[in-house]
Structure 1
Amino acid sequence: MKLRQKVILLAITPLIVALIAIALAVKYQANVLAEQQRASVESAYLASKEAELRHYVALATQSIDHLYDSGRKDEATLNEAKAILAKLNFGDDGYFFVYDLNGNNLMHPRQPELIGRNLWEMRDASGRPTIQLLTARAREGGGFQRYLWEKPSAGKIAPKLGYVVMLERWGWMLGTGIYMDDVDAAISKIDAQISGNIHNTMLWIAGIAIASALIIALSGLALNISEYRVADAKLKALAQRVVRSQEDERARLSRDLHDGISQWLVSIKLQVESGIVKLASYASHPDSARSSFDRAAGQLNDVLGEVRRISHDLRPALLDDLGLAAALDHLAREFSEHSSLPIDFEHVGTTDGLSDVGNTVLFRIAQEALTNIKRHAGASQASVRLVGDNRCVQLIVADNGMGFDVAQIAQHPKRGIGLRNMHERLEAVGGKLLLTSSADGTQVIATLPRA
């Protein structure tokens, strides 16, 4: 995996993790709120139904108060009371029922087949004795009781909330109830709405996560394309500079060969030809011919020196044979001889660990720096210092010349080519170049980390 892809992945991963954490937190809080809302709604709904049941039972007892308060409990009076209660109803499944305290059904308008039957031992699907529980609640002074009972309109067993009271003088348990499946349906509808809201929220968070990941990926892609174009432009510019440097080097070699070696070889040729003519013409005076050959030999020595100089500029043999320190020492002495400028060389530490490319880069920087001193500095003294430690190797070339404006030279399109070359050489091998200049002189510091 490329570094850029790793960076994009490291940018997307925390975002996705954060959104997942937010989603889980939102879902948890939504579930908690849903439970609280459900409990609140259920409590309020049941409270309203309980109040409704109390009201119904109160109306039922009021409808037979004239009979109950009369003190009579003969069969005719009781039958009249049961007839009145049987006619009272609310809704499709709202009715009143009457049992005696032994569990005998005395009145049931929706299930007349139960009248006269003893249901004391009857148990619902969960095994609970329904009539016993209702009777116990009535004996306690009345109250609410949950149980299972057949719903007349549906013909199926459904949960029911009953409310019963005791009519002590008649020995009756009077009650009514509402079926809770409607309540459960309303609560389930609320649960479904809440679940839908949570689901929609999760979809929104997932959409945001996907959109954010796409935005980051597209931004990374756009940045990649932009940087690729910049790098491509830099590569093209670098290639052009390389070609230009090659052409400059060829031109320099051409000048050196034409102005130096070529001229000397022509002169040598003429001296040799002159000596041959003198030998033929003045066979008795060999000294005259000898002087021509001596001058030719001297010029051959000069040609050899020039060839060595050109070869040294192309690739110093000392750099390969004796190392960077010896090559820089020789370079400093050679420049001092040719320019009559005193150049001090100092070597501290070791340069072991530098690659061949690193050694060549530092040598070329020293060459460029000394050439600039010779051409532009107007200095009376210069120094080359090579310092090596466990972390890096530093080359310091300094002079006491007139100095120059570093920023102005760096921005000039036709000047500072040598400085740019030094920067680029070092950057190519992971090094750094520091250049300072003032009226007191110029200092070039090239730092190269050890491999």
Structure 2
Amino acid sequence: MKLRQKVIFLAITPLIVALCAIALAVRHQSELLAQQQRATIQQAYLSSKEAELRHYVALASHSIAHLYDSGRDDAATRNEAMRILGSLSYGDDGYFFLYDMQGNTLMHPRQPELVGQNLFGLRDQNGRPTIQNLLQRAREGGGLERYMWVKPSTRKPVAKLGYVVALPRWGWMMGTGIYLDDVDAALAKVDVQQSRNIHNTMLWIAGIAILSSVTVAISGLALNVSELRVADAKLRVLAQRVVESQEEERARLSRDLHDGISQWLVSIKLQIEAGIIRLSSGPPGQQPAAQGVFEHAAEQLGNVMAEVRRISHNLRPAILDDLGLAAALAHLAKEYMLSSGTPVHFEASGSTDALPDVASTVLFRLAQEALTNIERHAGAGRVEIALAGDAAGVTLRITDDGHGFDAEGIALHPQRGIGLRNMMERMDAIGGRFEIVSSGAGTTVTAYAANNG
């Protein structure tokens, strides 16, 4: 997987995980809310049904009150009460029923085939005793009881909420009930609507997740393309600078070889040839003159060797490999002071042994570049070089009292400040820090390289 793909993946993954967590939390809370809403609606339905049943039983009791309260207990009075109760009805499936306290059916307008049967042992499909529970509720003073019963209009057993009271002087249980299938149907509609709402919410969250992921991916790709273009442009500029630096170094080396070593070698060659001629074919007594020629040639050979050492030192100071960064900088400061005549104070503290070789070379080249810039442009009367090492890394600070310059403007100028940009890029290459502060009172260059490279 490419780096840009990894970056996009790492950006999208936390977003998807967060949205999934939000979706799960929203779903859980929605389900809890749906359950609470269903329970509230169910309680409201049942409360209204209970109030309705109490009202119906009160009306039925009132309709036979003149017979029950008359004190008569003959068959004609009871039959008249049964007739009145049997004629009462409400809705399609609302009726009143009568049982005696032994479970015998006395009146059942919608299921007359049950009249005369003893249903005391009747149980529903769940094994619960139906008539026994109703009788128990009536003996307790009356109340509500939920049970299963065949609905007359559909001839199918459904849940029913009954309300019964006792007529103790006649040994009767009177009651009525409301079938709850319409309540269950209403609650089922609520469940379907709530499930649809939860499903739609999940779809919205999924849509937002997809849209957000696509947006992040597109933004990441656009950013990667933009950064890639910028990086390519910087790489091309850097490659051009590297080529320019190489060509400048080759030109300088060519000038040093041509203007110094080459001319000296030609001069030495001519002097050696002249000395040979004097020794071989000249008149007697030319030996002292020939010796002087060879001595001058030997002196020039010494100069050539010194120039070779100088060029070699500029290309790669051997002292940096042999004695370390501090000794190489001390030698550089001494050479600069001898060549420019500007006093240089060098001070080293701590240890630089843990610094990688590449970082040591970069700091040394940076010091070379800084001293070259000071000699060419600063007009300084004094230079201070401080090298400090610790367990974390090494800090190099070069300060002069010259007239300073606009560091930011020079760094951004396309044709100037090549040396300054080279210093910055060298430090960036090793992961170090570079800072330059310049004013009319002087310039300070600070570079830091970590020991871990």
Structure 1 length-normalised TM: 0.88
Shifted more, 320-329 versus 249-258: the winner is: 320-329
Instruction: Give 2:337's aligned residue.
Output: 336
Distance in 2 (CA, whole Å) between partners of 1:399 and 1:74 is 133
Letter in 2 for 1:321: D
In the alignment, what sits opposite 2:354?
353
- Correspondence for 2:449: 448
2: CA distance between counterparts of 1:132 and 1:384? 108
Distance, in Å, in 2 between the alignment partners of 1:81 and 1:400 is 125
Q: Deviations over 1:70-102 (max 9, x none)?
A: 776654554455445444444443332222333
Distance of 2:242 and 2:128 partners within structure 1: 99
Give a deviation string over 1:190-209, Cα, whole Å, max 9, x none: 12222332232233233333
Q: Secondary structure in 1 aligned to 2:259?
A: helix
Correspondence 1:419 to 2:426: no
CA-CA distance at 1:247 after TM superposition? 0.7
Distance in 1 between the 2:69 and 2:440 partners?
Answer: 126
Over residues 287-327 of structure 1, what are the superposed CA-to-partner deviations in whole Å (9 max), with x where a residue is unaligned? 33333333332222222222221111111122222222222
Conservation of the 8 A alpha-carbon contact between 2:98 and 2:175: yes
Paired residues for 1:127-276 under 5 Å: 127-167=127-167, 170-276=170-276
Displacement after TM superposition at 1:425 (Å):
1.1
Q: Cα gap change, 1:311/1:140 in structure 2, threshold over 3 Å: closer, same or farther?
A: closer
Secondary structure in 2 aligned to 1:404? coil
SS at match of 1:106: strand
Deviates more, 1:107-116 or 1:84-93: 84-93
Q: 1:251 to 1:73 in 2, by over 3 A?
A: same
Work out the CA distance in 1 between the residues paired with 2:438 and 2:109: 114
Task: In structure 1, give the amino acid aligned to 2:259.
Answer: D
Whole-Å separation in 2 of the counterparts to 1:78 and 1:314? 131
Matched positions, count? 451
Name 1:51's counterpart in structure 2: 51
Per mean C-alpha deviation after superposition, the further-off stretch among 411-420 and 379-388 is: 379-388
1:101: which partner in 2?
Answer: 101
Q: CA offsets per residue over residues 216-265 of structure 1, 9 Å max, x none?
A: 34433333332222222212211111111001111111111221122222
Q: Which shows bigger deviation, 131-140 or 114-123? A: 131-140
What secondary structure does 2:193 align onto?
A: helix
Q: Equivalent residue of 1:354, what SS?
A: coil
- Amino acid in structure 1 at the alignment position of 2:48: S
Quick one: distance in 1 between partners of 2:307 and 2:133?
A: 125
Query: Which range moved further: 440-449 or 82-91?
Result: 82-91
> Residues of 2 paired with 1:134 and 1:439: CA distance?
108
CA 1:141–1:321 in 2, change beyond 3 Å: closer, same or farther? closer
User: What residue is the counterpart of 1:315 in the other structure?
Assistant: 316
Q: Which moved more, 1:32-41 or 1:133-142?
A: 133-142
Secondary structure, in 3 states, of the residue corresponding to 2:45?
helix
Deviates more, 1:308-317 or 1:136-145: 136-145
Structure 1 residue 65 displacement after superposition: 6.1
Residue 32 of structure 2 aligns with which residue?
A: 32
2:324/2:353 contact within 8 Å kept: no
Distance 1:383 1:159, change over 3 A: closer
Distance 1:75 1:398, change over 3 A: closer
Identity of aligned residues (%): 66
Residues 240 and 76 of structure 1: is their aligned pair in 2 closer, same or farther, counting only changes over 3 Å?
same
Q: Aligned AA for 1:447? A: Y
Structure 1: where are the runs of 5+ without partners?
none
Which digits, 9 at most, give the CA deviation of each residue in 1:363-418, with x for residues without a partner? 21121122222222223333333222222222233333333232332233222111
Give the whole-Å Cα distance in 1 for the aligned partners of 2:328 and 2:438.
26
- 1:439 partnered with 2:424: no
User: 1:113-149 CA distances to partner (integer Å, 9 max, x unpaired)?
Assistant: 2111222333333444432333343445543322222
Residue type at the aligned position of 1:144: L
User: After superposition, what is the alpha-carbon deviation per residue over 1:20-60, rounded to whole angstroms, capped at 9, x for unaligned?
Assistant: 44434433433333233222222221233233334444554
Q: Which runs of 5+ in 2 are unaligned?
A: none
Q: Which moved more, 1:154-163 or 1:271-280?
A: 271-280
TM-score (norm 2): 0.88
Residue 96 to residue 270, structure 1, CA distance change in 2 (3 Å): same
Q: 1:438 to 1:123 in 2, by over 3 A?
A: closer
